[in-house]
Amino acid sequence: MKYDLMCVGVALVDNIIRGFDPEPVSASGYRAQSANLSAGGEAVNTAVAAAKLGLKTGILCALGEDPAGEMVLNVLRKHGVDTRSVVRAESTPVTTMFVRTDGSRRSVTTPAHRSNFHPEKDPSLFTDARALILGSLFRTPFNDPEIIRAVLENAKSAGQLVIADTKLPNDRMMTLPDIADSLPHIDYITPNEDEARWFTSQDEPEAMADVFLAYGVRNVIVKLGAKGCLLKNEKETLRLPAFMTDAVDSTGAGDNFAAGFASEILRGATVEEALRFANACGAICASAVGAGAGLVDREQVISFIETHSLRADE
């Protein structure tokens, strides 16, 4: 196959404002500790991280023929991501991120995020890969049950391993029953704890996983932040602690986690080994400002695992 991994989903520019002070310094002026622009979006973050980890990676996303789109393309190409499947759109979305000192964040988006992007129209753009990652299940373009079903059916017909990350719905409210016929095509679904709680109405990670499993998802990974992660399938339940590290900015940590997990699963690692590696990728990402600033390469992650302690109290 042409690729190890194909990433499909959102591409944008992140305007990251860290340490925003809500108290005005003048009639119309505010201050923050820092501000920077970076290529972002779940598909971009995951593709760049996967390429850094040594996977032959492609991306299918929509980018405007504008300066923001050129910026994202340059970042993708710089890190070795194949951009031949990129679809050109009217404009590139820009997200403004307000990042608190503890690494948590809030974002502001625009109508450009609702681009007319239809990855299902040409399956050849995403099926020539060993694995497929859907960056944002329940967000554009994967907030349309027909698009979700078409992409996943084509992926499974091509024999692809399917990993789906989730987001809370925004433009279009959707729930698990809305895509019940598509969920059995997903090999690994990776919601964070807040997302899993919202979709399942459960408070405990194992109970959250049970709901997804009941819909036919083969494996459920609930990302628990500083508490690590939990994997559950019909045969086993694994709970891995997080690594000790100082979080600076959690932007893209989940995308780096997904790339790390895919990297090791495709290399033949056990699920437990892949989860540990993924936890390390997420921790490294959160230790720097921006989704792509922390992770360097696979050797860095291996060294991180060998030199950093786990959170024994979680």
Print the domain residue range for 58. Answer: 3-20+35-307
Average pLDDT of the chain is 92
Would you say residue 231 lies in a domain? yes
pLDDT at residue 116 in the model: 79
Into how many domains does the chain fold? 1
Sequence length of the chain is 314
Total-model pTM: 0.90
CA 249 to chain centre: 15
Indicate which CATH number applies to the domain containing 12.
3.40.1190.20
Would you say residue 30 lies in a domain? no
Confidence band of 43 (pLDDT split at 50, 70, 90): very high
Would you say residue 28 lies in a domain? no
Would you say residue 114 lies in a domain? yes
- Tens of pLDDT, residue by residue over 269-305, are 999 999 999 999 999 999 887 778 889 999 999 999 9
**Model confidence at 135: pLDDT above 90:** no
Indicate the SS3 state at residue 239: strand
- Tens of pLDDT, residue by residue over 65-121, are 999 999 999 999 999 999 999 999 889 989 898 877 666 778 887 776 666 799 999
Would you say residue 72 lies in a domain? yes
Would you say residue 313 lies in a domain? no
Which residue has better confidence, 286 or 127? 127
pLDDT at residue 314 in the model: 44
Would you say residue 27 lies in a domain? no
Q: Strand ranges (DSSP E) for the chain?
A: 3-8, 12-18, 34-40, 57-60, 62-64, 87-89, 94-99, 105-108, 129-137, 161-166, 188-190, 219-223, 229-232, 237-240
Would you say residue 93 lies in a domain? yes
Confidence band of 10 (pLDDT split at 50, 70, 90): confident
**Model confidence at 312: pLDDT above 80:** no
